[in-house]
Homo-oligomer: A and B are copies of this chain.
Amino acid sequence: MRRTIVAAITGATVLTASCIGICGAGEGQTDPAMRETLSRIRVAAINSDWAWRELARLTDEIGPRLSGSPGHAAAITQVADAMRALGARVTLQPAKVQHWVRGEERAELVRYPGRPDGLTQRLHLTALGGSSATPPSGLEAPVIVVRNFDELKAHAADVRGKIVLFDSHFDQHLADNGHAGEAYGQAGEYRFRGPSEAAALGAAAALVRSIGGADFRLPHTGLTRWKEHQSPIPAGALAAEDADMIVRLAAAGQVSMKLVLTPQTLPDADSANVIADWPGTDLPDEYIVVSGHLDSWDLGTGATDDGVGVIGAAGVIQVLQQLNLHARRTIRFIGWTNEENGSRGAKAYFDSVSAKLNAQCAAIESDDGAGRSLGIVAAVTKDSLPTLHPVADALSPLGATVIEPREGEVGADIEPLQTAGVPGFAPLVDSRHYFDYHHTAADTLDKVDRANFYSQIATMAVLAFYLADLPDCLPRVPVTR
């Protein structure tokens, strides 16, 4: 899941209004043959169980797929083999990826106000990707709680040698009201930048309150970033309950913690994007990219982040194969490597096509969880929006009629393409509960509702085919940044 803002519309809203934003009714009469074809694609997508079986293999048999791990390599093999079996033209595009390995992780409160003699309190936490290790026997230090960067700055003189806890909260109310991505972006700032800012002030370690649902003592991992030439410090995410307990105790006096984190950053590992082309009839050298990412965090089995995205995108090819349909342009599935902690796959692909960017007609990425599709997010020029109405028309039996215009990035892996002006798309997904499970051990197959998953595949398949069969590619999107 990318970090920037996603203003998703909730299912509840859509149930009461047929369409929000720009809608697909009426305008832009679709050619009847195309209408019929898109309808067949939608029906096939919601009735094929190929994707479910592949997702079960990816999550139950392989499981976690952090970059550089054996599971990651196995996932690349599985998906490449599956695409070859469909008859797609498969390429493995090499990329060196970061190889961070989680070690031991434990912590306990060793001193705090009111503590009875001899007692310690075990804490539930997980290391953040990119964390360095404590000494093997751990480090012990006082905790300093700050709610935001301003408070960090105000306490700058006190930070050296301490464990900084960023008591930043995920705004579930915002998420419940259709702005899950925005809520993630707000709290995510502290996970991405907090440890680095604390390290710059000499902190011994940095912790954040886990980002997301806060009810089940579940730590949420994710990447943290360091400044150039900065030495990483140990960095972790506490379960919300543990962070809250420390905040309560710290209100009464000094809290000290013992922290053991033993992750390792190994040399970069060989990896690859899986590229599978479903050739176009007239313009085979022009591409509509449809994609998700193959890697996942290591705590769960990455079913919702991003099993559904990568297998859903693969499912687009399966649907077209089943219907024996080829559009004018080539539809290119990409299973991205290394989205979670480096985006090296995105960079490798962009570098490989940057000399011929006009051949990249449009790019779709699915990476917003397993909720049902409400339509599409479209980062296109304003004038292009009416051209998309036939997509909404074709998806109306699924209720996925919203076309939500977006400025800027709609998927982390297609961001370099978008930045170069390529129109970008994503399914518009109901993400209200995505962050309950995001980057946790509980991101597992049972969190995927099959009908919702299929609605995303139908959305991408209809959109990809339609874009691939347009007389002309949509206009480039001027870069406003």
Contacts and interface: CB of A to CB of B under 8 A. Distances in A.
B63 A119 contact: yes
A245 B56 CA distance: 9
Given A63-B121, A121-B63, A300-B217, A245 B116 contact: no
A357 interface: no
A214 B56 CA distance: 19
Nearest to A445: B245
A118 interface: yes
A448 B1 CA distance: 32
A442 B119 contact: no
Interface in A404-454: 436-437, 440-442, 444-447
A285 interface: no
Contact of A118 (B70, B119, B249): B70
A176 interface: no
A226 interface: no
A442 B219 CA distance: 11
A240 B248 CA distance: 32
A155 interface: no
Given A114-B61, A218-B217, A442-B215, A70 B300 contact: no
Interface string A33-77: 000000000000000000000001100111110000011001001
B241 A446 contact: yes
A61 B112 contact: yes
Nearest to A214: B446
Nearest to A70: B118
A212 to B, nearest CB: 11
A74 B218 contact: no
Contact of A216 (B56, B112, B118, B216): B216
A458 to B, nearest CB: 25
Contacts of A300: 217
Interface residues of A, number: 44
A130 B77 CA distance: 44
A245 B248 CA distance: 38
A124 interface: yes
Nearest to A218: B216
A117 B218 CA distance: 30
Interface in A77-122: 77-78, 112-119, 121-122
Interface in A121-145: 121-122, 124
A244 interface: yes
A446 to B, nearest CB: 6
Contacts of A240: 446
Given A62-B119, A70-B119, 17 more contacts: A60-B248, A61-B112, A61-B113, A61-B116, A63-B122, A71-B119, A74-B119, A214-B446, A215-B216, A215-B442, A215-B447, A216-B437, A216-B440, A217-B300, A240-B446, A241-B442, A248-B445
List 8 A-B pairs, minimum CB-CB distance, nearest first: A216-B216, A74-B116, A61-B114, A217-B442, A217-B441, A241-B444, A216-B442, A63-B121
